[in-house]
Amino acid sequence: MNRRCFLAFAFFFAGLALHADAQQSAPAAAPAPPPLVGTLAAHPDWPAAKNPGDVDTVDHLLASLYDVISGPAGKPRDWPRFRSLFLPDGRLGVIRPETPATKDAPARQGDAVFLTPDMYVARDDPYFKTHGFFERSIANRVEEFGNLVQVWSTYESRHAAEDAQPFTRGINAIQIVHAQGRFWIAGILWDDERSGVTLPDKYLK
């Protein structure tokens, strides 16, 4: 082998060695950061909407909410569908008014009870196994700004769909957000009509 060929081979193999060393010493690519706590991406196991038509508009979302919790005693509720209407960190809250003592019950302080969707299921599923419950909206006042929606939804609740009169009425204050091409319930807070607290006309139309 002449000197020129020898030098060419030497430079070639030296280049291979340098390339291999560079690959071994190059830092590994940084792993993708985990999703931010509280984001939708941080809840990959949360059920997706079973029916896209449940969540494509505010009206459909509200109709689905009332539909999924309503039914005769013993009818299994579609709880995956129920959960899918909410953000994973959504909340449901009932306002309990202060009540004076009666001959049948002690006095009760006012309170507010907040539940996750799973806590609501655990609390109310046993009740629905033995009691009929039908709730419907009779008027919705909807206000929107950007991707934020606030609905004051006036409701009537019945034990049977054919009952002439509801056993209670009230207002669901529902916060909704629009994200990832659909609507989600962020929170519901409700209070019932009662003696001294009557639904005003503006929430009945």
What pLDDT is recorded for position 159?
98
What pLDDT is recorded for position 48?
86
185 compared with 26, residue with greater pLDDT: 185
Class of domain 40-100+107-203: alpha beta
CA-based max dimension of the chain: 116
Model confidence pLDDT, tens digit, residues 42-62: 788 887 888 999 999 999 999
146 compared with 38, residue with greater pLDDT: 146
pLDDT at 173 over 60: yes
What pLDDT is recorded for position 19?
52
pLDDT at 22 over 90: no
What pLDDT is recorded for position 21?
52
Q: Mean pLDDT for the chain?
A: 87
Encode 155-179 in three state secondary structure: EEEECCCCCCCCCEEEEEEEEEEEE
Model confidence pLDDT, tens digit, residues 102-134: 888 888 888 999 999 999 999 999 999 999 999
| Contact between 24 and 61 (Cβ < 8 Å) | no
What pLDDT is recorded for position 24?
56
| Contact between 124 and 70 (Cβ < 8 Å) | no
